[in-house]
Every structure is written in structure tokens, then in C-alpha cells.
Structure 1
Amino acid sequence: MKEKLRYRLITGKDDSSFCERISKLLNEGYKLYGSPSCTFNGEDVIVAQAVVIDEDTI
């Protein structure tokens, strides 16, 4: 099994797929770190959310 990273920054188009990716990580033990960020690329809203996991959870 691949070792989990303690910190991850997830980015993507603000859609249900992005929410599913974040939800999956939360189910794996990650926690939200800070507030999400967003920008507009001329077509879509792009979001970023940092997540972290405790060392003892890895």
C-alpha cells in the first residue's frame, strides 16, 4: 500500500467530482486545513483545498 502524504493540496474545477475527491480524503482520515481558495479561469471556477492527516493515522 502506498504511504499517505501528511499534507495534500487538492485542486480542480468546482464541481461534484471535486467534492467527491475531498469527501473521499475526509473518509480516509484527512482533515481540512484552512479555508478553500477559488479563482476563475475565464470558463470555470477553480478551487483548492489543503488537507492534512495526523502522523499516527498514516
Structure 2
Amino acid sequence: MLIYRFLTGEDDAAFCHKVTKALAEGWQLHGGPTYAYDAVSKKMRCGQAVTRVARDQPYDPERKLVDY
């Protein structure tokens, strides 16, 4: 089963660390990053989709995706 997550955050080092941690845990980048301006916070926000194959595990909507 292919698992999909969309990571989001402020465009800063913490977001880069979040994506790097996901990659270190076996997730793979899915497409390119996205950027949008948040008019409320007046900051750029970014997002990155990541996927990972979870073998021999049935999908459970109650389970956190990071636990696969």
C-alpha cells in the first residue's frame, strides 16, 4: 500500500528539518514543493508531499500515517 502525507509549515529551517526527517524515515518526495503567502501571518508557507510503501499492512483510518 502506498501511503501519502502532505507536510506543511512556515518557509524556514524547521520545515526543512521536517521534510529531512521524513526522508530519513523512508518517505520519498512526491512532486515538487508548493509555496503560498499567508496574509494573516504575513509569511510564506510551504508544503511538500511525501509517500512511502507500507507492505503487508491494511489501511486503518484511525492509525497515524507516521506509524506505518
The answer to whether the superposition gives a TM-score over 0.5 is yes
TM-score, length of structure 1 as denominator length:
0.82
> What are structure 2's unaligned runs of at least 5 residues?
56-67
Deviation at 1:55, TM superposition (A): 2.4
The structure 1 segments of at least 4 consecutive aligned residues displaced by more than 3 Å after TM superposition are none
Paired residue for 2:24? 27
| Structure 1 vs Structure 2 CA RMSD | 1.5
| Rounded Cα–Cα distance in structure 2 between residues aligned with 1:11 and 1:32 | 13
Matched length: 53
In the other structure, the counterpart of 2:51 is: 52
Structure with the greater alpha carbon radius of gyration: 2
Rounded to whole Å, the distance in 1 between the matches of 2:38 and 2:18 is 21
Q: Which runs of 5+ in 1 are unaligned?
A: none
Percent sequence identity over aligned pairs:
36
What secondary structure is seen at the aligned counterpart in 2 of 1:12? strand
Give me the TM-score of the superposition, normalised by structure 2. 0.71
Alignment-mate amino acid for residue 14 of structure 1: D
